[in-house]
Structure 1
Amino acid sequence: MDRELWLQFRRKGIGGSDVAAIAGLSKWKFTVAVYLEKIGQTPLEDVQSEAAHFGSILEDVVAQEFTLRTGLKVKRRNAILQHSDYPFMLANVDRLIVGERTGLECKTASEYLKHEWEGEEIPPQYLIQCQHYMAVTGYTAWWIAVLIGGNKFIYKRIERDDEIIQYLINLESEFWNNHVLTKIPPMVDGSEASTALLRNMYPVGESESETELPLEADVILEQLEQAKQDEKVAIDRVTELENRLKAMLGEIETGIASKHIVSWKNMTTHRIDSKALAKDHPDIYQKYLKPSVSRRFGVKTV
C-alpha cells in the first residue's frame, strides 16, 4: 500500500509505536494524543521530526550491520500485520529473521542517551514495543539493534514474556474498546493534547451555570494548591540561578561553560499600540476589532 493508505489503516488499530504512550512510558507522546489520532481528530499527514527522519533513512544501515555482525539474514515484511484474536493490535515490523520465528527492530539514538543501553538495559518503551510485536506475530523472540551517536553499534535479544504480553493485551483492549470505539477520551493529563481536547469539546460555557462537583474534586484541588506552591518555589529558584548567570555575563551576550553555552542577547520586537490606535483612529480600530470567546479557568477559596 502507498503511504497515505498506510496512514489511514494505522488509525484502525494500535501499533508498536503507540503502546508506550498508552502505557505512560513515552517521552514524546501521550495517551490522549493516541486517542485523538485513532478517532480521526488529528491531521493524516505524518510529519516526522529530524530524529525520526534520519532514523528511517538509517534503518537499512542498522539492519545490514546487524546481519554483518550476527550472520543472521533479515527480510522486509511489507505489510501491516494483525493479531488473529485482537484485530486492533497491529504491527508494522522493521525486519524478520530468515528461517526463525524472530524479528528485528532497528533504532538510532543520540550519544546523550547511551546510558539507556548500558549492560543489559533496554529503554522500557522499546522493550514493550518488541513484546507487542511478539504478541501480534506469535514469535518467540525479538532482536533490537541500535546505532548510538552514529559510531557505536549495539544489538540485544529480547525473549518473549507472556506475562508482559497479557498485560499489553489487557491494556490495549481496555483502551480500544472503552475509549476509541466509544469515543470516550481517556483520563486527561498535562499534555497539550489533553488541553486541546478539552478546549475543542467544551469551547463555550453555559452562561451563569453552576454544578456540584464530586468529592474527588476536593482531593484534586488540594493537589493543585500544593502544585502551585511547589511551582512558585521552582520558578523562584530558576529565576535566581538565571540571574546569577546574567550577572556573570554583564554586558557580554554569550558565555562559554564546560558543557553549555549561555546567551543573553538583545531582542527587538514591534507591537501595535492598541490603546493609541483606538484613541487616534477609533474607526479603524473598530473595523479590525475581532471578538473571540475563550474560557478562563480559576479557583478561589470560599
Structure 2
Amino acid sequence: MKTKPKSNAGQLEMGHLLEPIAAHFFAQKTGSLVTDDTHLYQHADFPYALANFDRRYTRKEDGEPGILECKSCTYHKAADWQDGAYPIYYELQLRYYLAVADIEYGAFSTIWGNNPDVDIATPAIIRDREKENMIFERLDEWIWSLRKDKPPSMADVTPKLALESLARIYGASQKDLPTIEFPKKYEKPLRRIAELQGENAALQAQIKKNEEAMEAHSVRIAELMKDHEHGVLETTRDKLLVDFVTKTTRRVSSDYLKRTHPDIYQDALKPSESRKVKVFIQPA
C-alpha cells in the first residue's frame, strides 16, 4: 500500500538537516562533548520500548552522560522555550529516552534563527521516576489496546490535549471525503455544542459592548490622570483605586522583518493547520 505523503514533509526534512547545527552550538554554549549515536536501543524491562537518539553528550561539569534532543522552530514558537521552558510533548519524549538508555540527564538544543547568541535554548532535565512510571503506564495501556485491536480511549485525557492528539493522528481534513452520518446517541452532545457556540457569540457581543462603554467612561478619567499612574476616590464605605499605568509589550514588526529578513519572514508565514468542531442547526 502506498504511503500517504505527510503534509509537513518539508518541515520534517528541514528539522533533520538542522540537527547537526543545533548540536554544534549546544556543545559550544555548554562546553559539553557531543557525540553521534546511530544505534537503536531497547528498554531492559519493556521490550516494545525502542529508541534512537539525536545525539549523546558528556556533561562538562561532572563527566556524566546525557541524551541530547536537537529541535528547530520558527520565531513565533520561540516563546515556548524561554526561561528554561520546553513543550510537554518534547519533555515526554526525552524522559522516555532517558528510561530506555537508563541515563539520569537529558537536554534540548533548540534553534529558531541565524544568531546563535540569542536564537537558541538549551534547557536540561533530570530523570524523574514518577513521571517515567506514568509514561510507561500509558504506554502499557496503548500496547494492550493494539494487541486486543481496541482503540485507546480518550476518556481520561483532558479535552484540549485529546483534540490536539487526534489532530496529529488523523492530520488534515480531506475535502473529497463523504459526509458522515452520526448515530442518534450523538444528538445530545451535538446540540450542546451548538448551544454553547450561541452562548459564546452572545458573550463576545456583550464583552465588546462593555469594552466600548468602559472606554467612553475612561476618557474623562484619563484626562484627569495625565501622566500619573495611580489615583484614589474615598467614599464613606470604601476606596476606589485607579490605575493608569503604562505597560510596554514587545511584538515582532512584520514590516521590519519582511524588509530586513525576507527569508525569515517567509518562513514565519508558513500555514499552521488546526481543526475545530462546529455545529450548525438546520431546520428540517
TM band (smaller chain): 0.5 to 0.7
Distance 1:160 1:232 in 2: 46
Give the AA of the match of 2:126. E
Calculate the TM-score normalised by the size of structure 1. Answer: 0.52
The answer as to 2:151 corresponding to 1:185 is yes
State the partner residue of 1:115: 79
What's the C-alpha RMSD, in Å, of the aligned pairs?
4.1
Q: 1:66 to 1:218 in 2, by over 3 A?
A: same
State the partner residue of 1:65: 25
Give the AA of the match of 2:21. V
Distance 1:184 1:95 in 2: 35
Distance 1:82 1:182 in 2: 23
State the partner residue of 2:15: 55
Deviations 1:138-175 (A, max 9, x none): 11010111112232122121111111111101111111
State the partner residue of 1:3: none
Q: Which runs of 5+ in 1 are unaligned?
A: 1-40, 206-210, 237-257, 261-296
Calculate the TM-score normalised by the size of structure 2. Answer: 0.55
* C-alpha displacement of 1:187: 4.1
Distance 2:2 2:126 in 1: 35
Distance 2:172 2:26 in 1: 42
The answer as to 2:145 corresponding to 1:175 is no
Distance 1:149 1:120 in 2: 18
State the partner residue of 1:155: 122
Query: 1:1-302, aligned counterparts within 5 Å?
Result: 43=3, 48-98=8-58, 100-151=64-115, 152-178=119-145, 180-187=146-153, 191=166, 193=170, 213=185, 217=186, 220-227=189-196, 229=198, 259=254
State the partner residue of 1:10: none
Give the AA of the match of 2:95. Q
* C-alpha displacement of 1:77: 1.7
How many residues align? The count is 197
Distance 1:153 1:194 in 2: 29
Deviations 1:50-95 (A, max 9, x none): 3322111111111112122222212222122221211222212101
Q: Percent identity, aligned pairs only?
A: 22
* C-alpha displacement of 1:106: 0.7
Deviations 1:192-226 (A, max 9, x none): 62998xxx9xx999xxxxx884xxx5652443333
Structure 2 contact 75–113 (Cα < 8 Å) conserved: yes
* C-alpha displacement of 1:47: 7.1
Distance 1:47 1:194 in 2: 8
Distance 1:62 1:195 in 2: 29
